[in-house]
Amino acid sequence: MNLILLGPPGAGKGTQARKLQDERGLIQLSTGDMLRAAVKSGSEIGRKAKAVMDAGKLVSDDIMIAMIEERISQPDCDKGFILDGFPRTEAQAQALDAMLGRKGLKLDHVIEMAVDEKALTERIVGRYTCAKCGAGYHDSFQKPKVAGICDVCGGKEFTRRADDNAETVRTRLEAYRKQTQPILPYYRAKGVLKSVDGMAEIDEVARQIGAVLS
């Protein structure tokens, strides 16, 4: 099964994609994580992307399309994948269709995570992850069971993203409204778009996604 989770930054795409990966064996393909790995490695793509990401703008379609095509071609994706953060523009959505067509693959569901924009700054500014295993947390909404210790791996170090600050969030939400929201009608017209209530609690959102998939 191949899915897209669509929604603005902070909607809960990564949180739900990781759950689906753990529970259903689908592979989470987060273009944001791929770019952050490229920045960390100091590769040419990472050097090009860093300033754009820090400013909260979108990295060029050429780079993103090539990155996702290379990743989808790897054998682990045969199990099915969840796209988290891609596509973000109409050009990316069209390129994805062409790429899946060439590989004989299809999209089963595009799930819109509907959220109230007013809640997103608090979600994003409070977000952090385990430095060792990448498990996601939030200062108020998703705390580790024991303070300072990762539930998943016992790690004690956590990181926050450089772009998770109130100023960048404004630019990122504007990019979502202008460049990403217009792709919703594209998927609605194809009959694959479903919507879940991204404002519900994490487990309830997961239940609604489960209902779409079954």
Residue for token digits 């944001």?
Answer: 32
Residue 11 interacts with ligand ADP (CB under 6 A): yes or no: yes
Query: In Å, how far are 8, 72, 159 from 128, measured between CA atoms?
Result: 17, 27, 6
The catalytically annotated residue of 13, 19, 50, 123 is 13
52 binds, among ligand ADP, ligand AMP, none (CB under 5 to 8 A by kind): ligand AMP
Residue 202 interacts with ligand ADP (CB under 6 A): yes or no: yes
Toward ligand AMP, which CB reaches closer, 5 or 205?
5
Q: Is 13 a catalytic residue?
A: yes
Contacting ligand AMP (CB under 6 A), which of 3, 38, 59, 72?
59
Site for ligand AMP in 10-49 (CB under 6 A): 31-32, 35
Site string for ligand ADP, 14-33 (x = CB under 6 A): xx------------------
CB of 161 to ligand AMP, least distance (A): 7
> Among candidates 13, 2, 202, which has minimal Cα distance to 113?
13
Backbone φ and ψ for 138, nearest 5 degrees, come out as -145, 140
> Among candidates 82, 129, 76, 100, which has minimal Cα distance to 190?
100
The catalytically annotated residue of 24, 161, 188, 194 is 161
Toward ligand AMP, which CB reaches closer, 85 or 198?
85
12 binds, among ligand ADP, ligand AMP, none (CB under 5 to 8 A by kind): ligand ADP
Q: What counts of helices (H) and strands (E) characterise the chain?
A: 9, 8
Cis status, amide bond into 87, omega within 30 of 0: yes
What's the CA gap between 68 and 85, in Å, rounded?
11
Q: Residue 147 gets which letter from DSSP?
A: T
What's the CA gap between 126 and 15, in Å, rounded?
14
Residues in the chain: 214
Q: Is 71 a catalytic residue?
A: no
Helix (H) or strand (E) holding 17: helix 13-24
Residue 63 interacts with ligand ADP (CB under 6 A): yes or no: no
Tokens of 115: 């959220």
The contact set with ligand AMP (CB under 6 A) reads 9, 31-32, 35, 52-53, 56-59, 64, 85-86, 88, 92, 172
- Catalytically active residues are 13, 88, 127, 161, 172
The contact set with ligand ADP (CB under 6 A) reads 7, 9-15, 123, 126-127, 136-138, 141-142, 201-202, 205
